[in-house]
Amino acid sequence: MDIHVGEIYGKQNTGKFVMYNVLKVSKSAITLQNIDNPLSLFETTSEKLNASGYIRISQTPYIDLDASTSKRRKAAKKPTRCPLTFDFLEERADSERPSPIMPDLFTAHS
């Protein structure tokens, strides 16, 4: 499984779909950040990520324009392109939260 910084992965947790932004990828670990709670970070491996049921939602990074962080942290983490850029393949701007992709279990059995 090829995982890159800026991709968004999601998982269904207790009736709620939670999305995570890939912050860092190294040979031994992947650092994920909860999109709804930026203070929630965890490390895992690509094998564990796949085995735990995470699915890739988007390859376009999600940039929260309303987030308030310190100037020092903002300077260290600048986006590589304008957050208002509309990506026609993703059908959303970088500043728009991606819509979760949920498999339709009911039509698969028809």
Q: Please check whether residue 63 is in contact with residue 78, taking contact to mean a CB–CB distance below 8 angstroms.
A: no
Phi, psi of 52 (to 5 degrees): -85, 0
Supply the Cα-derived Rg of the chain in whole angstroms: 15
Over the chain (110 residues), what is each successive 10-residue block's mean pLDDT? 86 85 90 89 91 87 72 58 76 81 55
pLDDT at residue 32 in the model:
93
What are the tokens at 59? 């390859």
pLDDT at residue 77 in the model:
59
pLDDT at residue 31 in the model:
93
pLDDT at residue 76 in the model:
53
Pairing type for strands 30-34 and 86-87 reads: unpaired
